[in-house]
Structure 1
C-alpha cells in the first residue's frame, strides 16, 4: 500500500480559491454587460486552464475582446483576490507535514498557470513544502487529459503506481485516473455519484490523513506478525 509521492491539486485542495476564480470571472464579464453566476462557472469552467476558460466565455457570449485579453483580465483580478484574501483549506499544513514525515515526496499538479501558483504559494508560504511543481500551462492538453500528472511522475522519477493524487473536482479526478494513479477525492460533496471513480472519497484533508495513518498502522502490524 505504500506510496512514494503525494501529488496535490491546488485550487480547492490547498487553497479555497474556487470562489475567487468565480468572482474573477464574474467581475471580468460584467464589464461587457454579461452576468454569470457561480453555478455557471462550476458547470462550464471548473478545473479548466485559463486559456480554455477565456475561450469558453468569449465563444458563449461573442465578447468584443480576444480570449487572450479576457484571460489577462481574469488573471489580474484573481491574483489580486488571492494575494489579499486567499486562505488555506482546512488541514493543508497538517497533511503536508504528515506525508513528509512518512518520507513521501510532495508534488503539485494544477490547471492553474505559473502566475497563479506564485500568488498562492506566496500567500500560503508553501514554497518549501513541494519538491516538484507542475502546471498544465506547460502541456499541450490540460485536464481532464493526464499530461500534467505524467509530467510530475517523470520529474519525480517514479512509476504512476507509486503516486497518490489528491483532487477535488470531477475534471481533475478524471485526469488523475487516466494517468493510472491512485486518486483520493476530497470534497464536502464527496458522496456525489460522479465521484465514484475515485479510489477513496473524503470530506476533508484531516480525514485523508486519518485514513492513511490507519493503513500504515495496519501494514506495520502485518509486517511485525510475519
Structure 2
C-alpha cells in the first residue's frame, strides 16, 4: 500500500517551541509561588494538551487556582513568544517542498489549541502547505490517545497504511502507534530506547530528508 500523506506534529517538529512552553509554565507557576524546572516540564507535560498541563500542576502542587485560569495564562505567554521569537525547525521548508514535489498530501495533528496553531501558522506562513489541520484540543482525549490521528485520517479520507507521521514526543509517538500509523521520530533524544519501534529516528528534519534521498529508510518513495 503506497503512502499518500504525511501527518506532522507541530511543537518540536514544525516550530522550535518547546522552550516557550517550558518558560511559560515556569513563569506562570512562579506567579503562584511555585518553582518548577525545565526538566519537570519535560517529564510531566511534554506532548500534553494545555488542559492536561494545567491539571498536572494544579494537582501536583494543590494550587488554589482554577486550571482554566492557568491554561489562559500559559497559552497567552506561549502565543506572545511565538509571535516575537518563533522560528521554524531546521529543515522544515525543505521537508515541505520535498513532500509537495513528490505528491504527498500534508496534515497536522497537534496537542496544541487552535489559538496556538494560528499563531504558529501566521508566524511561519504555513497555511498554504497543510490540507488538514487537527487539534487534540478538539478531542475528548489528548495524546497518547490516538483520537487526533484518527481524526486526521478521517479528514484525509485515508487509512493508516496510506500515511506516515513525524513526531518528537513519547506521547505523540504512542498516539500515532496506537492509530497504527508508521511514525518517524525527529527529536534530540531520538536514539533513546523509548523510540526503538519507530519507522525511522533522526535528530532533525534535514537528516530525515537526506535519508529519504539516499533511500536509507524507503517508507516513502521518490526523491527529495
TM-score where L is the length of structure 1: 0.94
Q: Which residue of 1 aligns with 2:18?
A: 18
Query: Segments of 4+ in structure 1 off by > 4 A?
Result: none
Q: Which residue of 2 aligns with 1:113?
A: 113
2:2–2:161 CA contact under 8 A, matched in 1: no
In 2, the alpha carbon distance for the partners of 1:149 and 1:219 equals 22
Pairwise CA distance, 1:195:
1.1
2:7–2:165 CA contact under 8 A, matched in 1: yes
- Secondary structure at the aligned position of 1:34 is classed as coil
In 2, the alpha carbon distance for the partners of 1:212 and 1:8 equals 16
Q: Which residue of 2 aligns with 1:96?
A: 96
CA deviation profile, 1:100-129 (whole Å, cap 9, x unmatched): 100000100000010000011111111111
- Secondary structure at the aligned position of 2:14 is classed as coil
In 2, the alpha carbon distance for the partners of 1:214 and 1:141 equals 38
CA deviation profile, 1:36-94 (whole Å, cap 9, x unmatched): 00000000000000000001101111112100010001111110111100111000001
Pairwise CA distance, 1:189:
1.6
Structure 1 position 37 matched with structure 2 position 13: no
Question: Whose Rg is larger?
Answer: 1
- Gapped regions of structure 2 (runs ≥ 5): none
Aligned residues: 219
- Secondary structure at the aligned position of 2:214 is classed as helix
In 2, the alpha carbon distance for the partners of 1:33 and 1:41 equals 16
In 2, the alpha carbon distance for the partners of 1:107 and 1:139 equals 16
2:184–2:200 CA contact under 8 A, matched in 1: yes
In 2, the alpha carbon distance for the partners of 1:189 and 1:65 equals 34
Q: Which residue of 2 aligns with 1:223?
A: none
Of Structure 1 and Structure 2, the greater helix share is in 1
Pairwise CA distance, 1:219:
6.4
- Gapped regions of structure 1 (runs ≥ 5): 221-226
